[in-house]
Amino acid sequence: MTKYFHFNLGPVQGFVAQARRTRDFWAGSFLLSYLTAVAIKATKSQATSNNIVLPATDNEPMLARLDKNSGEGPQIGSLPNCFTASVTDSFDGAMVVSAVQNAWKVVADSVWKGDYLEKSGVNDTLWNTQIEKFWDITWVMSDSEDGEVMAMRKNWRSHYPPEQYGDKCSVMGEWQELSGQDRPNRKNQNEFWGKLKSTAGISGLELRDKERLCAIAYVKRRFVKYWPTIEDHRGWNLPSAVPSTSSLAAAHWIDQVQEHASEELTKQFYDLACKLVEHGELKTNIPIIKKNAAKHGRFSSLDGRVFFRSSLESDPDLDAETARQALEKLNEIAKTETSPSKIIGHPSPFYALLMMDGDNLGETKQAMKGNVADLSVALNSFTESVHSVVSDHNGFLIYAGGDDVLALLPLEDALSCALKLRKQYMQVFENKNLEAGTYSISAGLIYAHMKLPLTMILKDSHSLLDDVAKEQTGRDAIAIRVWKPGGETSTWATQWGKESEHVEPLEKLAEEFRKDESEEPGHASKPLYRMRERLMMLKGSGFDACTIEKLLVAEYETSGVLSQSKRKQQIAQSRVSQLLPLCKSQTSTDYDALGLMLLRFLAQKGVER
């Protein structure tokens, strides 16, 4: 008799979201996907044919690599942390759990041995306890492929992590850090971690002076080095470096420098900067950075922090005198002309985090006449397209599996990337001839200052997507939020519209105003700020949309920024007619200024002029 095996691997948030840097973020997602692949392989080993119901596993790269046991493999996670399989009564779920635990232990052991952690004084009991007791693996057998039974099973708590004492991990704060100190003791902890880094040959870039990790976080940080040494992983190399948030923020600025600045000037800066930081971006694959990289040596390979004045002025980890000299050269680079009266300037400190998730897959499945296999194939088709889209937009893909996407991008490319991915998703189901309205995808897009904790931004992206885009805005929507050092500054949300017509004007206008701003600082912010004030005055006035549009056109024309243009009325009319719908309140019949303020932020790239 056919049964259904439902499997879930957690904790997702505890493993992926607790990340101090982009590398931790990627590592958690990759390892979670890998261990799910191990579980799927163990499940399939007890069947005579492919018995995985959801997700689609045909041509799945992680599974394909596990099956052949040699050669290159995927570099990003592409499987969710759960799956469903059709099995027989004799199926043994415990064998699947054992396979996952063993695979995790093999990875952890490679780090333990490779970094000589016993020699460094790491307590093997502490290490083994944390490694062996971390995962919360749940599974259930049922007569139905419906996932509701797993949801019920997850409410029955059966995983109890071990009690943790002493000083805690810098990244995963509920776990004890590896020095084993009963209470904070900076002298002993510094000696312990200094010895460990020296013995293992760990650079200051990979493990900063004040970082103290538990076993789980340590494996996430170090497993890449030993991954190809594991017997079944020969030839499977993983990225030794992942783009930092600072490098993503500076990506378009780096491109401008490499295109316009003199090689002599960038070399002078590089010679000083490389005394301050290491080559954190040596193997970057961001297209816009790679484009002209050869012309300027290793300039673009520097740790992204060093491209920002704030870091050179106040980072306590940098030698003050060398940083001062590097800042002088950075300021010279910023004055480089890209065209008459236009200079490179300094980079924006903002990057973007994009999270997307399909809406109401239950309804989509019903529209596909309950055929889970067809749904799975459609989602797999979308997943296969995601990597190239994100790469084309100079982003770094953290995860793509099923209807989920998680990526980091430069500020300038993020909204365009979200629009393209939405188009790809809709096209997949349109090709299945499904009725419009039975499928959609929502997005949460955060523009964040590079110095804000990544864990906080990731956690907030879940809330932005689930609570704002889906619940408050009604799904088939995008919610955008800006986080500055002082905190959240604004949140704007809207439904995409049939052809994304509610969102595309924001991208188009942002590009136009950004061009204006680059040619003359203040050219974008002044009219937008004045229109914001006018909208606030008109709130509750009862004026219709046509009247409000005329008033805003007049405000734009008299702002002074179009005084040299013979087409000022035409430009003002065109732009106001596009931006006014962006200001429609989601909670009332009034207009609000959130859309204008977001447009101003995008035009200025978050940098006040």
CATH of the domain at 430: 3.30.70.270
Dist. CA 61–CA 79, nearest whole Å: 9
Q: Are residues 99 and 19 in the same domain?
A: yes
Residues 379 and 296 grouped into a single domain: no
The C-alpha atoms of residue 243 and residue 229 are separated, in whole angstroms, by 24
Same domain for 487 and 556: no
3-state secondary structure 408-428: EEEHHHHHHHHHHHHHHHHHH
Bridge partners, 358 (sequence order): 441
Domain final residue pick, 343, 358, 391: 343
Query: Quick check: is 240 in a domain?
Result: no
Rounded to whole angstroms, the Cα distance separating 414 from 352 reads: 6
Nearest CA among 447, 450, 499 for reference residue 603 = 447
Phi, psi (rounded to 5 degrees) for 376: -60, -40
Per-residue pLDDT reduced to its tens digit, 373-393: 788 888 889 999 999 999 999
Q: How far apart are CA 335 and CA 324, in angstroms?
A: 17
323 and 360, same domain (yes or no): no
Quote the number of domains for the chain.
4
Q: Are strands 441-449 and 477-484 parallel, antiparallel or unpaired?
A: parallel
**Helices (H), strands (E): how many in the chain?**
22, 12
15 and 164 both lie in a single domain: yes
Q: List the domain range (segments joined by +) for residue 319.
A: 245-343
pLDDT of residue 57: 87
Q: Which residues contact 532 (CB under 8 A, 6 or more apart)?
A: 593, 596, 597, 600
CATH code, domain with 118: 3.30.70.2220
Q: Measured between alpha carbons, how far is 259 from 433 in angstroms, rounded to an integer? A: 46
Q: Are residues 474 and 356 in the same domain?
A: yes
Residue 238 belongs to a domain: no
pTM score, whole prediction: 0.92
Residues 6+ apart with CB under 8 A from 34: 62, 77, 103
Q: Rounded to an integer, what distance in angstroms lies between the CA atom of residue 475 and that of residue 487?
A: 26
Q: Return phi, psi of residue 330, to 5°.
A: -60, -40
CA distance 124 to 364: 49
Could you tell me if 52 and 162 lie in one domain? yes
Is residue 370 classed exposed, middle or buried when 0-12, 13-18 and 19+ CB atoms within 10 A define those classes? exposed
Tell me if 380 sits within 8 A of 371, measured CB to CB. Answer: no
Q: How far is CA 135 from CA 10, 15, 44, in A?
A: 6, 9, 21
Domain assignment present for residue 320? The answer is yes
Q: Tell me, yes or no, whether 451 lies in a domain.
A: yes
**Residue 239 in domain:** no
CA atoms within 13 A on the CB side of 207: 23
Write down the pLDDT at residue 504. 94
Query: Which DSSP string do the residues of 23-38 spell out, in sequence order?
Result: HHHHHHHHHHHHHHHH
Per-residue model confidence (pLDDT) at position 283: 65
Kindly state whether residues 35 and 160 are assigned to the same domain: yes
Residue 121 lies in a domain: yes
Q: Which residue pairs, CB below 8 angstroms and at least 24 apart, start in 556-564? A: 556/527, 556/530, 556/531, 559/526, 559/527, 559/530, 560/526, 561/516, 561/520, 561/522, 561/523, 561/526, 561/527
584 lies in some domain: yes
pLDDT value at residue 153:
65
Say if strands 342-343 and 136-142 run parallel, antiparallel, or are unpaired. unpaired
pLDDT at 368: 81
Q: Which of 276, 269, 360 minimizes the C-alpha distance to 323?
A: 276
Amino acid identity of 516? D
Classify residue 396 as exposed, middle or buried by CB count within 10 Å of its CB (0-12, 13-18, 19+).
Answer: buried
Residues 65-91 as b or e (16 or more Cβ within 10 Å = b): bbeeeeeebbbbbbbbbbbbbbbeeeb
φ/ψ (deg, to 5) at 118: -65, -40
| CB distance 482 to 606 below 8 Å | yes
Same domain, 85 and 227: yes
Q: Which of 213, 233, 253 is the last residue of a domain?
A: 233
Among 62, 235, 26, which residue's Cα sits nearest to residue 227? 235
From 499, 521, 536, give the residue that closes a domain: 499
The string of DSSP codes covering 320-333 is: HHHHHHHHHHHHHH
Helix axes 411-430, 504-519, angle to 10 degrees: 160
Those residues with Cβ within 8 angstroms of residue 162's Cβ, 6 or more apart along the chain or in another chain? 129, 130, 133
Nearest residue to 298 via CA among 344, 347, 241: 241
Nearest-angstrom CA–CA distance, 603 and 269: 28
Regions of the chain short of the pLDDT cut 50: none
Same domain, yes or no: 77 and 45: yes
- Residue 418: its pLDDT value, please? 98
Are the CB atoms for 11 and 23 separated by under 8 Å? no
Is residue 47 located within the same domain as residue 167?
A: yes
Token pair in block for residue 473: 């805005």
Residues 375 and 257 in one domain: no
